[in-house]
Structure 1
Amino acid sequence: MNSTDINPSSRLWKLAFTYKTLMIFSCLFSIFSVITSFIPFIAIYFIVCEIILSISHQIELNSELIISYGWLAFMAAALAIVFNFLALCLSHIVAFKTLYNLKYNFIRYLSCLPLGFHTNHSSGELRKIVDDDIEKIEQFIAHQLPDMIGSFASPVVILVILAIFDWRLGLATLLPIILAYIVLISGYRRKDIKTNQQELQKKLIEMSHASVEYIRGITVIKAFNQTFFSFKRFNDAIKAYQFYCLKFIYCFKYHMAFFILLLNSIYLFIVPVVIFLISDTDNYANFILSAIFYLIFSLGLPAPFFKLIYVTQGFQKTVKSVQNMDEVLNVPPLSEPKEGLKVESYDIQFDNVCFSYHDEQVSNTTESNNALNHISFTAKQGEITALVGLSGSGKSTISLLIPRFFDPDEGHITIGHVDLKQMTSGYLLSLVSFVFQDVFLFKQSVINNIRIGKPDATIDEVIAVAKTAQCHEFIEKLPNGYDSIIGSDGIHLSGGEMQRLAIARALLKNSPILILDEATSFADPENESKIQLAMKALMKNKTVIMIAHRLSTIRDANKIIVLDKGNIAESGTHEQLFSNKRTYYKMWQYYQQTLDWQMHHSDMSSQTMMSK
């Protein structure tokens, strides 16, 4: 995205001050809140002074002055709350605006990344960035940043106050604070603590991945009578996170314990100094009053320093969240021209294409690792080009390269003699309709799921394609018809019904290029013939790439390309390939044997039922 080249800490500050005016005023109000929060301690000191002086000099107590100091303490405390409230209001406005921009831009950027990125990064990892990491940035800006500014302002105010009354007692008060931070910093500088903290973050991500996998696979887990503890990956991920969490805490326990002890024991450093200095003081009354002030003031000192530790840790965690987000934003999208070329015809040509799913950092990639090796063929407009082969032969890979979900490692792919890289992604995707083997339906209404193919389609257009795809009948039986929400109120569709909805999408989009990846794999025998008729109407004058395991569905294809381990074994029509008696011939024989076995098994079952 080119905006993430700076280090994560600087990037976080840049994000926090996206709306500078609001954020600056928020920080100022936070500083004012800190300053006014110390005024009650000073007011209480003067109240105590007035009482002690009145008793020691046996004079009448100035009650009006004491009441004035009391009101000053109350008004200062109230004003501190008001300033803090204003700081948080402004910071929340900035945080919510930034949250919206970050989530919107991140999700939009994900849609621009190649499909290869999504295959190499789990949905749990991306979900954590959207739901956890970006939310942490919002929490930092809304809560922790004003607190951090205030917490850094507190020591400055404290130093000023400590120097006003008696610098010697001020040093005595400051000494345990300095020692506490020396202990804390020494803990943070330990190598094992840094290592365990990094491992803790890694295990948290792994646990998130495993939890998503566990929830998604709960049906399979239940079917095989697995339990939470026997689902090894999830269980191991939780144990690993627990192990490093405890390891990190144990490494830091002594440093944090001494830090807390020193801050809560400031008065123990003041009392010996008071005893030591009291014999040499000239003004006994003023010295005692100063000592009382420092003892009272020491009780309120731990809170701002504990808060400073809290916001510093929050800052470190947020920096890690920014780093996680920027690692995705730094992934370059597929390059494309600003104004791409258009095509006048829709012939698809593969020219010496090689492709591997291996990460770009993996070296020594050989042809044996490639999903495709030097593939060359032409799929002509108005014809059906079928891809057949065993699982893993490269059929689906070819279908993914056509819409440029990946770029080939070698060679070129063109549509109408225009290289895919010379088209914009939006234009290229408008040329292609898909019906994949694995159908994904959104938790939306049936009509909106079909309208994905054409968002502005009318209800009449949707019903027309639904009828053509043999969907209309079962849709009408749903509780709310086309307005029924898939996945809610017990509305679940069978595999065949889901696939027919996917076909309706493609029919509605009506693109010149059609990619069918096992489009009839879940169709029952009754509807398969109807869908085939609908497909013939859909395929007219289109460039069709059809992937099928059931060879009967591609018998009438204009060209059949037989793939074997990423290579083209042979190509031609059904009759040509059958007469060659090579790879396709063997596949056809195996397919016929399977059909014969199914028919024989069906006959046996029928005879058994009749005998009963």
Structure 2
Amino acid sequence: MDNVELSGIQTEKKALPKEEAKQKTGLARLMELAMYKKACMLTAMLMSFLSTIASFIPYLAIYMVIKEIVRVYPNISELDKSAMGQYAVLAVAGVLINLIFYTISVALAHVAAYGTLYQLKIDFIEHITKLPLGFFYKSGTGKLREILDNNIESIEGFIAHDLTNMVSAFTAPLIMLVMIFAVDFRFGIAAFLGIIIAFMGYGMTQKQELTNKLMKDYQEALQDMGNAATEYVRGITVVKAFKQTAQSFHRLNDAIKRYMAAVIPYSLSQENMTATLTTLLSAMYLVLIPVGILIGQHTGNYRSYASSFIFYLIFVPAIGNILMKLIYAMANAANIAGNVDLIDEVLMESEIKDSGKNLSPKGHEIEFKNVTFSYDDKKQVLNNISFKAMENKVTAIVGSSGGGKSTIASLIPRFYDPKDGEILIGGVNIKDMKMEKLMDEVSFVFQDNFLFETSILENIRMGRKDATVEEVKAAAKAARCDEFIEKLPNGYDSIYGAKGTKLSGGQIQRIAIARAIVKNAPILVLDEATSFSDAENEYLIQQALNELMKNKTVIMIAHRLSTIMNAHNILVVEDGKIIESGKFNELLEKNGRFYKLWENYNAANVWKLKGRA
């Protein structure tokens, strides 16, 4: 495999910083991608070149036939049958050679295309897994889905078909020019004049800066509509519950309108240019016929004149097709180059980088030192946070919504990096640890958990890919989910989401806990893991969590304060600051913010709807 940069990510999977990448753009970038399988692609291009040359052999044979017929006309019986047979063989040979070279070209181009497509998707996915979570909130899933499903796929079409077609499209006009001047330079000048007039008209209708702007607006509108459509489908239960429609759901409706406002001018701009060129190329007869009549009035060799004139009348339509093929290839390449620019926008996003020191922690104590963080460089979410979470102890974090609790949890696995300060595990700055090592140290159970559309077994095994079936089942039993899994149609082999295999929120939560048990990392982050569970599920989840938390350093983001009564330390976070800390009873005795939270929590538990008896 050639050692080239495929996507701003080298084959050894190290991203280049923006200032060092010297990223190519447009067609140059597209060609760089196409040359990933260089030997294969160059051979495909050579085959396309030879195929194009061979495609003109039948025209040469036709010209020789016309010349022979005109030579003996009207005494057709005097035709040189041997020569005519040779011309026929020459034409058939040209067709067969063209077909053979073209088939080889297409086959090699597809091999190169699928190899490049595979590697580009792998590189793209690996890259986005190293980006901070803020990028995904900013970009939206619709944009990334559009890039993976369509933009990257369009590169396969360019490499497999368009690039070899471009070679052919550039080669054919050169051979065509040689032929039109070689047969009869006078008719060649007439045909060439018609080509110049056609391209002058095309150039007058083409405004490159405007075209580029229209194409960019179209692609951005398409992405925005994709984001809005994804959001609409994901929120369909809310849409239906509140009697919304595609029209009344303003974000989707506005996105569709913006798309229509962008796609129509873009399409018309392309249509006007293409229609102008097609019309003028088709009108080349308006130049050729008058010139042919003029030449005929002053010729001394009518047989030579007639054979050349007839040949050009046959060949002129082919000139139009050849040049239109070139225009279509260039326009398509420009469109795909725009797609590549969108891909590169993502690939040039800065990854979360480590310091390169590759240190290992000496223990599993977590320490925040003067940590400050902001999502948008405007409002500070965390302000000079400092605390220690002792090894093999439970540290709970409570406070009002939006106070910064979940942000603290997100900084530990480096979903984001703090603006100031440092975070240490076992005395080592987490930036001095390899991301793989850091991920081995930390397990998570989130408030909202995601199951993949694969077997329940594989969903649990996400925690550790080399876990045995026995280890997975042991984790499921510890997480109190073995019983309901066994009741599924195919037990642990049941595909989640397929044929009605659905699970409740509490069941999904327990599978997420089983995942964390399988991983068995020494540090555990629980982000409101029991928030949405009912009484029965809360009890089962709490049992599972007790099993999971044994001999681990635990950071617990708590909404239900009853779950943290035995925590070794409780941090009360408000407006990005730690305002209180201590054990449960100590904080209650202070009669401060935690005491107020506890009162509110108890009041909510005994609250009842008032209504008719």
- Partner residue, 1:309: 327
- Structure 2 counterpart of 1:115, one-letter code: L
- Partner residue, 1:441: 451
2-structure distance, mates of 1:239, 1:530: 49
1:491 maps to which of 501, 516, 519: 501
Query: How far 1:194 sits from its partner (Å)?
Result: 3.0
2-structure distance, mates of 1:41, 1:236: 55
- Structure 2 counterpart of 1:6, one-letter code: Q
- Structure 2 counterpart of 1:257, one-letter code: A
Instruction: Go from structure 1 to structure 2 and tell me whether the alpha carbon gap of 1:309 and 1:222 turns closer, same or farther (over 3 Å shift).
Output: same
CA contact (8 A) 2:201 2:280 kept: no
2:93 maps to which of 69, 75, 100: 75
CA contact (8 A) 2:456 2:495 kept: yes
Instruction: Go from structure 1 to structure 2 and tell me whether the alpha carbon gap of 1:245 and 1:533 turns closer, same or farther (over 3 Å shift).
Output: closer
2:120 maps to which of 86, 102, 105: 102
- Structure 2 counterpart of 1:130, one-letter code: L
Deviations 1:537-589 (A, max 9, x none): 43233211111111111122111111111111211122222122221111111
Deviations 1:494-533 (A, max 9, x none): 0011011111111222211111111122333234334434
User: Is 1:335 paired with 2:339?
Assistant: no
- Partner residue, 2:57: 39
- Structure 2 counterpart of 1:202, one-letter code: E
Instruction: Go from structure 1 to structure 2 and tell me whether the alpha carbon gap of 1:170 and 1:596 turns closer, same or farther (over 3 Å shift).
Output: same
- Structure 2 counterpart of 1:385, one-letter code: T
Q: Percent identity?
A: 44
Give the 3-state SS of the residue equivalent to 2:78 in structure 1: coil
> Which segment is superposed worse, 160-169 or 248-257?
248-257
CA contact (8 A) 2:70 2:306 kept: no
Alignment of 1:37-436 (within 5 A): 37-56=55-74, 60-189=78-207, 191-338=209-356, 340-358=358-376, 365=378, 369-436=379-446
CA contact (8 A) 2:461 2:467 kept: yes
- Partner residue, 1:546: 556
- Structure 1 counterpart of 2:390, one-letter code: K
Give the 3-state SS of the residue equivalent to 1:464 in structure 2: helix
CA contact (8 A) 2:48 2:101 kept: yes
Query: How far 1:337 sits from its partner (Å)?
Result: 4.1
Query: How far 1:249 sits from its partner (Å)?
Result: 3.2
- Structure 1 counterpart of 2:369, one-letter code: D
Query: How far 1:56 sits from its partner (Å)?
Result: 4.6
Query: How far 1:76 sits from its partner (Å)?
Result: 1.2
- Partner residue, 2:581: 571
Give the 3-state SS of the residue equivalent to 2:555 in structure 1: strand
1-structure distance, mates of 2:513, 2:386: 28
User: Is 1:5 paired with 2:22?
Assistant: yes
> Which segment is superposed worse, 245-254 or 311-320?
245-254
**Structure 2: 5+ residue runs without aligned partners?**
1-14
RMSD (Å), alpha carbons: 2.0
Give the 3-state SS of the residue equivalent to 1:353 in structure 2: strand
User: Is 1:536 paired with 2:546?
Assistant: yes
Instruction: Go from structure 1 to structure 2 and tell me whether the alpha carbon gap of 1:270 and 1:483 turns closer, same or farther (over 3 Å shift).
Output: same
Query: How far 1:178 sits from its partner (Å)?
Result: 1.3
- Partner residue, 1:523: 533
Query: How far 1:465 sits from its partner (Å)?
Result: 2.0
2-structure distance, mates of 1:36, 1:533: 76
Instruction: Go from structure 1 to structure 2 and tell me whether the alpha carbon gap of 1:530 and 1:149 turns closer, same or farther (over 3 Å shift).
Output: closer
Instruction: Go from structure 1 to structure 2 and tell me whether the alpha carbon gap of 1:397 and 1:58 turns closer, same or farther (over 3 Å shift).
Output: closer
CA contact (8 A) 2:460 2:472 kept: yes
1-structure distance, mates of 2:577, 2:147: 39
- Structure 1 counterpart of 2:437, one-letter code: Y
Aligned residues, how many? Answer: 595
CA contact (8 A) 2:480 2:541 kept: yes
- Partner residue, 2:39: 21
- Structure 1 counterpart of 2:563, one-letter code: T
CA contact (8 A) 1:188 1:194 kept: no
CA contact (8 A) 1:4 1:11 kept: no
- Structure 2 counterpart of 1:125, one-letter code: K
Instruction: Go from structure 1 to structure 2 and tell me whether the alpha carbon gap of 1:484 and 1:253 turns closer, same or farther (over 3 Å shift).
Output: closer
- Partner residue, 2:479: 469
User: Is 1:555 paired with 2:565?
Assistant: yes
2-structure distance, mates of 1:417, 1:223: 51
> Which segment is superposed worse, 498-507 or 252-261?
252-261
Give the 3-state SS of the residue equivalent to 1:335 in structure 2: coil
- Structure 1 counterpart of 2:155, one-letter code: I
CA contact (8 A) 2:444 2:524 kept: yes
Tell me the TM-score normalized by structure 1. 0.93
CA contact (8 A) 1:341 1:418 kept: yes
2-structure distance, mates of 1:266, 1:245: 32
Instruction: Go from structure 1 to structure 2 and tell me whether the alpha carbon gap of 1:128 and 1:4 turns closer, same or farther (over 3 Å shift).
Output: farther
2:517 maps to which of 484, 507, 524: 507
